[in-house]
Structure 1
């Protein structure tokens, strides 16, 4: 069943999905590294951001990029 589905997908769509997945994975890795290296106003925020990034895979990195900068020291 799955093999038939994959055979019916066009090559262009498959390449676009692979590129999107790679870009999203790199964004996720960037966010995790940024959380680990950063100093936060409250030290518990580091643990909270790691948990958010691990368990909210779809929106976690986007939420961190929007809201995470305000919780760091120096911003």
Structure 2
């Protein structure tokens, strides 16, 4: 088994980060708020995702 646990966790974190950024960009939040959340997610991948999950803007579909 060549794939490490850290590699799988990193891949999941990358996918979740991309999904969160797409959801943020599609939200009805202001441009400034969108920029803030995208930067937070990019600079603090795990913590930024956790904060975004609880406090971030939601998609415009809801």
Fold agreement, TM-score > 0.5: yes
* Band of TM-score, shorter chain: 0.7 to 0.9
Higher relative contact order (CA 8 A, sep 6+): 2
Equivalences, count: 62
Which blocks of at least 5 consecutive residues in structure 2 are unaligned?
A: none
TM-score, structure 1 as length reference: 0.63
> Structure 1 pair 16/45, CA: closer, same or farther in 2 (3 Å)?
same
Give, in whole Å, the separation in 2 of the partners of 1:21 and 1:68. Answer: 22
TM-score, structure 2 as length reference: 0.73
Determine which structure has more spread, i.e. the larger CA radius of gyration. 1
Which blocks of at least 5 consecutive residues in structure 1 are unaligned?
A: 1-10
